[in-house]
Structure 1
Amino acid sequence: MDKIKIGSVHGRFQPFHNGHLDYVLQAFARADHIFIGITQIIRPTSRNDDKKRETSDANPFSFFDRRALLIEGLLENDIPRDRFSFIPFPIEKPKQISEFFPRLGVCYTTVVDEWNREKIKRLNLQGYKVVELDVSPADNIRVTSGTEIRRMIRAGDNQWKRFVPVSVAEKISREMLPEILSV
């Protein structure tokens, strides 16, 4: 498999966890440089929104928080800092994605639910090549959901730390817990 020049991954990364890490590392194996697209750029203020992924409870980490957590997790896993950049990735307004990521790049994604299939459709309609990556086998340490991690953090269950890279757990514990607990 020949490496391509640029690729992208995208997600809310609320927070960056081991399942995300596996996904991102697969993309690094296929591209020289990865643009990490952060979706849900502006945190919602609503707690009672019909769309679960668009509530403030589901998005306690800011764009900059998520960027910092991704940097920590990738450096911990020996990805050189010059191999990745960050971009907004407005998947909810797909026509705007080309403002941040060129159509000549490849968008990498995984499919874990119907929303992922919808994202692939949106990207294809905008002219992007989308490559579906493998979903890591669920083993309760490597893969979990951000929803469950946020629930455990709010419940004071420190088991959440085993579902994220060590450096991510340390940064959240050291700098971000009060903010998460207040949302």
Structure 2
Amino acid sequence: MRIAFYPGSFDPVTNGHLDVLMRAFAVADKVVVGIGVHPGKAPLFSFEEREDMLRQAVADHGIDPARFSVVSFRNLVTRAAIEHGASLLVRGLRDGTDLDYEMQMAGMNGTMEPDLSTIFVAASPQTRHITATLVRQIAKLGGDVSAFVPAHVAAALSQRAATTQTAAD
């Protein structure tokens, strides 16, 4: 069984993440999404909320749940991937800047774990401009993010923005 590990923060899950994830299913029997948890950062959504968002999005795409799992990790991506049986590390590319950075990371990761191959998935033209950072900023300012995230994520962002705004008032 070919297992791919797709790491990221997924805070929130965007259509860009899903674009890469759906194509990862084309090359792997199973995809493990690794949500990186950094103790020094305060994400907008908890690990459990992000896991739920990912599970719903994958189910909405009709993917067999047996082909998919979500895990958290706090260590090196390479270690987390190996711990979960992956032979492939999936990385999305939006532009040349991403490519330069990801090539360096692939080289370092390949040196640390020679049995782990990095595969690059170029973002589709429809999603290459989407970043979770911009989505969070737009939502925080009351903007419509429905073109950038699945409907259930847009609803969660809207609710979180309203809760945050109410707490600030």
Residue in 2 that maps onto 1:161: 146
Residue in 2 that maps onto 1:129: 117
- The RMSD of aligned alpha carbons is 2.7
Q: Kindly report which structure 2 residues correspond to 1:48-87, keeping only aligned pairs within 5 A, or say none.
A: 56=42, 59-87=43-71
Q: Does 1:24 align with 2:25?
A: no
CA contact under 8 A between 2:38 and 2:74: conserved in structure 1? Answer: no
Q: What amino acid is aligned across from residue 111 of structure 1 in structure 2?
A: L
* C-alpha spacing 1:129/1:90, structure 2 compared with 1 (3 Å): farther
Q: Does 1:38 align with 2:35?
A: yes
Q: CA deviation at 1:5?
A: 2.4
Q: Does 1:97 align with 2:73?
A: no
CA contact under 8 A between 1:13 and 1:66: conserved in structure 2? Answer: yes
CA contact under 8 A between 1:43 and 1:60: conserved in structure 2? Answer: no
Residue in 1 that maps onto 2:136: 150
Q: What amino acid is aligned across from residue 62 of structure 1 in structure 2?
A: S
SS in 1 for 2:122: coil
Which deviations, in whole Å up to 9, do the C-alpha atoms of 1:50-83 show, x marking residues without a partner?
A: xxxxxx3xx2122111111111111111112111
CA contact under 8 A between 1:16 and 1:164: conserved in structure 2? Answer: yes
Q: 2 CA distance for matches of 1:70 and 1:23?
A: 13
Q: CA deviation at 1:33?
A: 0.9
* 5+ long unaligned stretches in structure 2: none
Q: 2 CA distance for matches of 1:120 and 1:70?
A: 25
* C-alpha spacing 1:136/1:95, structure 2 compared with 1 (3 Å): closer
Q: CA deviation at 1:115?
A: 4.2
Candidates 5, 9, 13, aligned match of 1:8: 5
Q: 1 CA distance for matches of 2:164 and 2:105?
A: 27
Q: Does 1:170 align with 2:145?
A: no
Residue in 2 that maps onto 1:50: none
Q: CA deviation at 1:166?
A: 1.7
CA contact under 8 A between 2:5 and 2:81: conserved in structure 1? Answer: no
Q: TM-score, normalised by structure 1?
A: 0.74
Q: 2 CA distance for matches of 1:169 and 1:60?
A: 13
Larger displacement relative to structure 2 (145-154 or 81-90): 81-90
Q: What amino acid is aligned across from residue 14 of structure 2 in structure 1?
A: H
Residue in 2 that maps onto 1:110: 92
Q: CA deviation at 1:161?
A: 2.0
Q: 2 CA distance for matches of 1:63 and 1:164?
A: 17
Q: What amino acid is aligned across from residue 23 of structure 2 in structure 1?
A: Q
Q: What amino acid is aligned across from residue 72 of structure 2 in structure 1?
A: P
Q: 1 CA distance for matches of 2:63 and 2:157?
A: 20
CA contact under 8 A between 2:7 and 2:77: conserved in structure 1? Answer: no
